[in-house]
Amino acid sequence: MSAQRVVVLISGRGSNLGALIAAGLPVSAVLSNRADAPGLALAQSHGIATESLSPRDYPDRTSFDRALSERIDHYRPDLVVLAGYMRILSDEFVMHYQGRLINIHPSLLPSYPGMDTHARALSDGVKVHGCTVHFVIPELDSGPIIMQAGVPVHADDSVNSLTERVLAAEHHIYPQAIAWYLQDRLTVDAQGRVNVAGVSPMAQSVLMLDVATEGG
């Protein structure tokens, strides 16, 4: 895995980025749309190359995404990982990285695509919430699902407490899903289902009953 390259896109503190680094994954560069994103300092502390590009320096989303693609391609990544990257990507960008662009979303997709997932889950009174690693396609939060983790929703949960438990689950499954990709074990069938060579379908679905709350 040492010869492979992963480029990570972030917008904030780099919580999932830290989990990927701790797992020993080959993160070669971290790019952000915010120069003040704390995750950039985290990457620099591990000797990882960093760059920031501000959308304000470009006339529209397409031109920004083209500039971002140029910088990503400079690192010749095998995989591009979205880790708290808070921008909607243009179709052109997504298709440029088709099959090698993945994201982690804080819900059990297809439930609760988009924003405010934890508040919406609590409002609906669901008993299990969670997170999903998926391939990115032009349709928002709709790509083939690689792995999911569910966490129980407690009667006294707040948005913050549920967020932290889901985040702990994210830290568990995102490194695993990326490792599978880099091991060339993922295939997508004609129905859009992701299969993992040598892994039972049950292993792609984890119920995190005993997740300890982690800080981000």
d(CA 216, CA 213): 10
**Cβ(130)–Cβ(170) below 8 Å:** no
**Cβ(153)–Cβ(128) below 8 Å:** yes
Secondary structure element (H or E) that encloses residue 140, with its range: none
Query: Which of 21, 169, 150 lies closest to 81, judged by CA?
Result: 21
Task: Say if strands 145-152 and 205-207 run parallel, antiparallel, or are unpaired.
Answer: parallel
Token readout for 150 is 């569910």
Q: Report the first-to-last Cα separation within the chain, whole angstroms.
A: 26
**Cβ(110)–Cβ(142) below 8 Å:** yes
**Cβ(143)–Cβ(134) below 8 Å:** yes
Residue 118 a catalytic site member: no
- Active-site residue among 46, 74, 96, 105? 105
Would you please indicate which residues are annotated as catalytic (active-site) residues?
105
